[in-house]
Amino acid sequence: MLKKVWWKCNSCGYRFQEEVEKGTPENCPSCKESCTFTDVTCYSPDCGGPESGNFDPRL
């Protein structure tokens, strides 16, 4: 099973899930800008933990 991470574009706020091995794209799939991405995967029990496949809505 491939591990997926939730990423958030720091420019437009778009969230998407991608396989860890692929990393982040060069440009945001939504705003098409060259952005910095933050890992917003849920790592706490409050949002279901890392096995839930959820993103952390607080981020």
- Is the whole-model pTM more than 0.75? yes
Reported as a single tens digit per residue, the pLDDT across 1-59 is 568 999 999 999 999 999 988 989 999 999 999 999 999 999 999 999 988 999 999 99
Q: What is the pLDDT of residue 47?
A: 93
Q: What is the pLDDT of residue 12?
A: 97
Yes or no: say if 15 and 6 are a contact pair by the CB < 8 Å rule. Answer: yes
Distance CA(36)–CA(10), nearest Å, equals 6
Domain boundaries, the chain: 4-32+40-52
Give every strand in the sheet of 4-9, ordered side by side: 15-19, 4-9, 37-39
